[in-house]
Amino acid sequence: MATTDTLSTEQVISLAKKYLTQNYTRYPVCLVRGDNSWVWDAEGNRYLDFFPGWGCGLLGHCPPKVVQAVQEQVATLIHVPNTWYTEPQALLGQALSERSDFGAVCFFCNSGTEANEAAIKLARLNGKPKGRYKIVTLTGGFHGRTMGALTATAQPKYHAGVEPMLPGFNYAPFGDLAAIEKAIDGETCAVMLEPIQGEGGINLPPSGFLEGLRALCDKHGLLLILDEVQTGMGRTGKWFAYQHWGIKPDIVTLAKALAGGVAMGGLMAKPEVGDKLKPGTHAATFGGNPLAARAALATIETIDADNLLDRATQIGEKFLARFTALKEKCPLITDVRVKGTMIGVELAVEGAPIVEACLKHGLLINCTHQTVLRLLPALTISDEQIDDGCDIIGEALLAMKP
């Protein structure tokens, strides 16, 4: 059977349209190779990637230590079920726990939505003895596509066609402590949110909000669940975004960048919370498999060895300076929001034409919520690449008429 790099883009698109479900909006580009912040298509065209792997490419494409770890592991032991112990999984649990600030215990799965399903289930297991099962989530958040995580996603546009949603979820506005407290009742067991809303448009929490939310959860005896699928693993300049605000959540979910581009999800919990996951209560067949765990360990090793937490902060400062300067001469930009390598540029117009214009000039970016250009560059990106990409975005914006 031929591999994709022997086919033209046109041939691949024809096969995909015939044999794949059509649930993705795809650009007419077939990518065949990646190296750090560069990718190449089937015709040999090169693109600068400011959105590698939809946030999974924290270290860029094919990071060397991850590649080496995967190559070694795939020739040694790919997968065994969790009825057996494996060294990579145990070491990964230790590495995450030591970086969590609260002595976390870990559960591993394969994706962000699985991690959030596990968090929902764990919250209910903790609340069951007191008759508590409801969870408050926040508008503008995004937690996944499976039914529990989808119900937790307080955005009706994602619910269309699959209603009724699951019972037991109440919604409140992001950043509004009074509204969140109003949504809490005697059957509530947890509050669940992204500390920085990613898909929602890189929405940063108001000053004092997360600290106040921790206090609010303590007041009502609730678990605080932080979805760090997008913000975690150094993306914001800290191992986990909650560390910027000095709080300690009860449950944290991870995925995307966790294993350097290899599919993996996970959950960290305080020991007294995580101990409710007993044999038979939850499982994931591929969760924490040796291949993914080795990739995750190599990811952590790379972040440490190359001082990439500091680099994330530097990258964010450079993007902020570039887009703040551009905002002064481009009336289409209404706001710039940055935390490490999470960058959102709010526009007064729809952003899709800008994404298309950038693609034509060899730059890959994303638009979310119609008007927010979202960038999640690799922590390994160079200053020169940042400048080149920002130049392309600036030219596209300045060429567009208000």
The CATH number assigned to the domain holding 343 equals 3.90.1150.10
Residue 313 lies in a domain: yes
Is residue 275 domain-shared with residue 402, that is, in the same domain? Answer: no
Is residue 232 domain-shared with residue 146, that is, in the same domain? Answer: yes
The CB density around residue 244, as the number of other CB atoms within 10 Å, is 18
Residue 231 lies in a domain: yes
Is residue 163 domain-shared with residue 311, that is, in the same domain? Answer: no
Q: How confident is the model at residue 3 (pLDDT cuts 50, 70, 90)?
A: low
What are the distances in angstroms from CA 163 to CA 159, 160, 200? 6, 7, 21
Is residue 264 domain-shared with residue 353, that is, in the same domain? Answer: no
Separation of first and last alpha carbons in the chain: 50
pLDDT surpasses 90 at 257: yes
pLDDT of residue 1: 47
Closest Cα to residue 56, out of 253, 229, 261?
261
Domain boundary among 289, 305, 321: 305
Is residue 134 domain-shared with residue 95, that is, in the same domain? Answer: yes
Is residue 261 domain-shared with residue 241, that is, in the same domain? Answer: yes
pLDDT of residue 5: 56
Sign of the CA dihedral 151, 155, 157, 158? Answer: negative
Is residue 282 domain-shared with residue 316, that is, in the same domain? Answer: no
pLDDT surpasses 50 at 379: yes
Domain boundary among 280, 305, 330: 305
Is residue 272 domain-shared with residue 318, that is, in the same domain? Answer: no
Residue 18 lies in a domain: no
The domain in which residue 134 lies consists of 66-305
Q: How confident is the model at residue 195 (pLDDT cuts 50, 70, 90)?
A: very high
pLDDT of residue 214: 99
Q: How many domains does the chain have?
A: 2
User: What percent of the chain is predicted at pLDDT more than 70?
Assistant: 99
Read off the pLDDT of each residue in 373-380 and give the average, rounded to a whole number: 99
Is residue 217 domain-shared with residue 353, that is, in the same domain? Answer: no
Residue 370 lies in a domain: yes
Q: Which residues are 190's β-sheet partners? A: 135, 223
Is residue 201 domain-shared with residue 327, that is, in the same domain? Answer: no
Is residue 339 domain-shared with residue 364, that is, in the same domain? Answer: yes
pLDDT of residue 316: 99
pLDDT surpasses 90 at 402: no
- Domain holding 279: CATH number? 3.40.640.10
pLDDT of residue 6: 82
Read off the pLDDT of each residue in 43-48 and give the average, rounded to a whole number: 98
Q: What is the rounded average pLDDT for all residues in the chain?
A: 98
Read off the pLDDT of each residue in 104-114 and give the average, rounded to a whole number: 99
pLDDT surpasses 50 at 165: yes
Q: What is the pLDDT of residues 296-338, one digit of tens each?
A: 999 999 999 999 999 999 999 999 999 999 999 999 999 999 9
Residue 168 lies in a domain: yes
Domain boundary among 305, 331, 353: 305
